[in-house]
Amino acid sequence: MEAVSVNRFRSNMKSFVEQVVMQHLPLKVTRRNGEDFVVISSEDWEREQETLYVLQNRELMKQIASSLATHTTGKGYQPDSGELNEIIGV
């Protein structure tokens, strides 16, 4: 993660914000008192929040693990051709 001083960030805020939004890379802004902060795009923030929700939801994590186990062993649900066409939009 790139880090810049708060003074440099303030002077070039528009370009740094554009960089964060376009490249989807967070930017650490350092302060003299040590209370740094991170700039992140709203899209990336929402994605992180969704990930945290899934990881904190034990029941959902169990379902994902179970689904992965059946998928890797080939024992999961197999849709018929009509269902498969509907899923892929044919």
Q: What is the pLDDT of residues 23-80, one digit of tens each?
A: 999 999 999 988 999 999 999 999 999 999 999 999 999 999 999 999 888 888 888 8
Partners of 29 in the β-ladder: 4, 37
Residue with tokens 């370009």: 15
Residue type at 63 in one-letter notation: Q
Q: Higher model confidence: residue 29 or residue 89? A: 29
CA 29 and chain centroid, separation: 20
Q: Considering the entire predicted model, what is its pTM? A: 0.66
Paired sense of beta strands 2-5 and 27-30, if any: parallel
CATH architecture of the region 2-40: 3-Layer(aba) Sandwich (3.40)
Count of CB atoms situated within 10 Å of the CB of 9: 20
Task: Give dist(CA 55, CA 51) in Å, integer.
Answer: 6
What residue segments make up the domains of the chain, in order of their start?
Answer: 2-40, 41-74
